[in-house]
Structure 1
Amino acid sequence: MQKTSIPDFQITAKVVYVPSESRPDEGYHFFAYKITITNTGSTPAQLMSRHWVITDALGKKEEVRGPGVVGLQPKIQPGQTFEYDSACPLTTSTGSMVGRYFFVGESGESFSVEVPEFYLIAPLALH
């Protein structure tokens, strides 16, 4: 019997509001974020595509799908971490992002990993 290894990844996000790129009086709030993807499993996998759902404070949703992340489709080895920076503009001072990464394992199997919801909150937006 062949043992099947289940891929295991840990994903975290850190968000920063960018005041120099934001124009709150015009309803434009700019957030930068860093995503950290760590392969905590025992098999390598390649990140092939992504799907984000971005929700603003009014409940307006925008879906973003595309190949890889920031133009890359990284192969992440066991114990390895891949990080990237990206950004998200909103018309409200708060919002959230949640998503999913789609991978291909070394045996050719496809699987997805959920990106836990994280929040985009401008300073002084909540008082």
Structure 2
Amino acid sequence: MIEYTLTTNFVEVTVLPIYIEEQSIPYENCYVWMYNVKIKNKSQSTIQLLSRHWQIIDYKGKVNEIAGVGVIGEQPVIKSGEVFKYTSGTYLNVPSGIMQGKYEFLNEESIKVFEVMIPPFSLDSPYIKTRPH
């Protein structure tokens, strides 16, 4: 398993994708992953996660965009030096793809909204012979 990490605007995002064999049904073109996300506030300010925007791109190039308020029903406030963790999931109709995206945060001291990039990460199942990305 590979962790993917990217720091933007003093916020470090680490993602660990995991293929879920038990929930996948390859003969019905259903491949399922969970991904663990860790968001570390490396700034001196308290920040709040406002929204997310994901791009899920399968290896054939089909793009699915997902946007919404917060993550897993929360808009967490993360103090300087603290970490927020959550787990979510996705599926594809093909055995491989990538996910990437961004979060929108509020700096509670300056009252400014800023973006934090989510590192692109591979969604690979054992049903693909070579990595397409």
Task: Please classify the TM superposition score into its range, dividing by the shorter chain length.
Answer: over 0.9
Max radius of gyration: which structure?
1
Pairs aligned (count): 122
Please tell me whether the aligned partners of residues 12 and 39 of structure 2 are also in contact (alpha carbons under 8 angstroms): yes
Of 63, 84, 90, the match for 1:88: 90
Matches within 5 A, 1:7-46: 7-46=9-48
2:116 corresponds in structure 1 to 113
Please tell me whether the aligned partners of residues 96 and 124 of structure 2 are also in contact (alpha carbons under 8 angstroms): yes
Q: CA deviation at 1:126?
A: 2.6
Q: Determine the C-alpha separation between the residues in 1 that align with 2:55 and 2:127.
A: 24
Q: Determine the C-alpha separation between the residues in 1 that align with 2:129 and 2:44.
A: 42
- The sequence identity of aligned pairs, in percent, is 36
RMSD in angstroms over aligned alpha carbons? 1.3
1:53 corresponds in structure 2 to 55
SS in 2 for 1:20: helix
Unaligned segments of structure 1, at least 5 residues: 1-5
Higher deviation after alignment, 116-125 or 80-89: 116-125
1:62 corresponds in structure 2 to 64
1:3 corresponds in structure 2 to none
Please tell me whether the aligned partners of residues 38 and 82 of structure 1 are also in contact (alpha carbons under 8 angstroms): yes
1:75 corresponds in structure 2 to 77
Please tell me whether the aligned partners of residues 38 and 85 of structure 2 are also in contact (alpha carbons under 8 angstroms): yes
Please tell me whether the aligned partners of residues 9 and 116 of structure 2 are also in contact (alpha carbons under 8 angstroms): no
SS in 2 for 1:53: strand
SS in 1 for 2:71: coil
Please tell me whether the aligned partners of residues 95 and 127 of structure 2 are also in contact (alpha carbons under 8 angstroms): no
* CA deviations over 1:24-67 (Å, ceiling 9, x no partner): 01100000100110001111100000000000011000000000
- Structure 1 runs (4+) greater than 2 angstroms displaced: none
